[in-house]
């Protein structure tokens, strides 16, 4: 499975950017299903659900690291999609729009659980080793190579929540660091630094799959 950053481009208001569909090409019958579902056709919405449920579930599982929570969040994402479908204007690929909606819901869930998505260690007392370097956020040739899919998924699930969130958003979902910084309310440099640390931790986990997870640098807020 390749985990290199997947680049996404944004469309300007009122017109579709053709580059959007390099990563998310149109799915046969999707446009018609969207239009029909926006008019209240339940069968059309069922088509959209069947087309996208697997990818939405995979995204939720990667970010949450829990099967039960991922299943619940997938259902929640499609409930929100049902309510908000009328606001989709086609200025981005539908799957990109749906994934952004899902990511926002997952981040809300993580915050409700009291998880800090920004490393307190890096924010309060950054060291020279933690400071972002010029190559942070660039393609990682090791993780982008041929890696056993199951082993990689297990390694991602073993990451601390904050590292896992940044890694999934950047290397899997293709968000830019400035977008991630806005989502997580942190600096762009902090996002790059956390991605770098997440990749280092993944390398360790892939080299030593039986190694137990190290204590997380992320803390839970007081209940």
Label residue 143 by pLDDT band (50, 70, 90). Answer: low
Separation CA 97–CA 28 (nearest Å):
17
Q: DSSP 3-state assignment of 115?
A: strand
Looking at the structure, tell me whether residues 154 and 81 fall in a common domain. no
**Which domain, by its residues, includes 183?**
120-207
- Interval 168-185 mean pLDDT: 89
Residue 220 has a pLDDT of: 33
Label residue 222 by pLDDT band (50, 70, 90). Answer: very low
CATH number, position 155: 1.10.10.10
- Does position 7 have pLDDT exceeding 70, yes or no? no
Residue 35 has a pLDDT of: 94
Separation CA 93–CA 71 (nearest Å):
24
Looking at the structure, tell me whether residues 93 and 155 fall in a common domain. no
Domain count of the chain? 2
Separation CA 123–CA 190 (nearest Å):
8
Residue 1 counted as domain residue: no
CA 178 to chain centre: 14
Residue 71 counted as domain residue: yes
- Interval 195-218 mean pLDDT: 72
Q: What residue spans of the chain are helical by DSSP H?
A: 20-23, 30-38, 42-64, 67-84, 94-112, 120-124, 149-158, 161-167, 177-184, 188-207
CATH number, position 74: 1.10.1740.10
Residue 11 has a pLDDT of: 34
Domain boundary among 87, 112, 137: 112
Label residue 26 by pLDDT band (50, 70, 90). Answer: low
Which residues have CB under 8 Å from 198's CB, separation 6+? 159, 163, 164, 166, 167
pLDDT digits (tens, 9 = 90+) for 30-69: 999 999 999 999 999 999 999 999 999 999 998 888 899 9
Separation CA 183–CA 196 (nearest Å):
18
Domain boundary among 60, 92, 112: 112
Mean per-residue pLDDT over the chain, rounded = 74
Looking at the structure, tell me whether residues 129 and 69 fall in a common domain. no
Label residue 128 by pLDDT band (50, 70, 90). Answer: very low
- Does position 169 have pLDDT exceeding 60, yes or no? yes
Looking at the structure, tell me whether residues 102 and 158 fall in a common domain. no
Looking at the structure, tell me whether residues 106 and 126 fall in a common domain. no
Residue 16 counted as domain residue: no
| Torsion angle in degrees (nearest 10) through CA of 199, 111, 173, 213 | 30
Higher-confidence residue of 45 and 160: namely 45
């Amino acid at each position: 499975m390749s985990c290199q950053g997947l680049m996404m481009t944004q469309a300007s208001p009122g017109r579709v950017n053709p580059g959007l569909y390099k990563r998310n090409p149109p799915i046969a019958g999707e446009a018609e299903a969207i239009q029909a579902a926006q008019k209240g056709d339940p069968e059309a919405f069922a088509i959209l659900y069947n087309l996208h449920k697997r990818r939405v579930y995979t995204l939720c599982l990667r970010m949450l690291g829990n099967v039960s929570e991922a299943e619940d969040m997938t259902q929640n994402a499609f409930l929100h999609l049902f309510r908000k479908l009328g606001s989709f204007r086609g200025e981005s690929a539908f799957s990109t729009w749906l994934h952004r909606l899902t990511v926002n819901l997952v981040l809300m869930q993580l915050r409700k659980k009291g998880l800090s998505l920004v490393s307190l260690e890096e924010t309060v007392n950054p060291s020279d080793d933690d400071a972002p370097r010029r190559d942070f956020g660039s393609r990682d040739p090791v993780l982008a190579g041929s890696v056993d899919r199951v082993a990689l998924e297990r390694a991602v699930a073993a990451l601390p929540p904050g590292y896992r969130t940044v890694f999934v958003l950047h290397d899997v979902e293709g968000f830019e660091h400035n977008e991630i910084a806005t989502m997580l309310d942190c600096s762009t440099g902090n996002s790059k630094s956390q991605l770098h640390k997440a990749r280092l931790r993944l390398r360790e986990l892939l080299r030593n799959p039986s190694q137990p997870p190290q204590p997380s640098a992320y803390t839970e807020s007081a209940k």
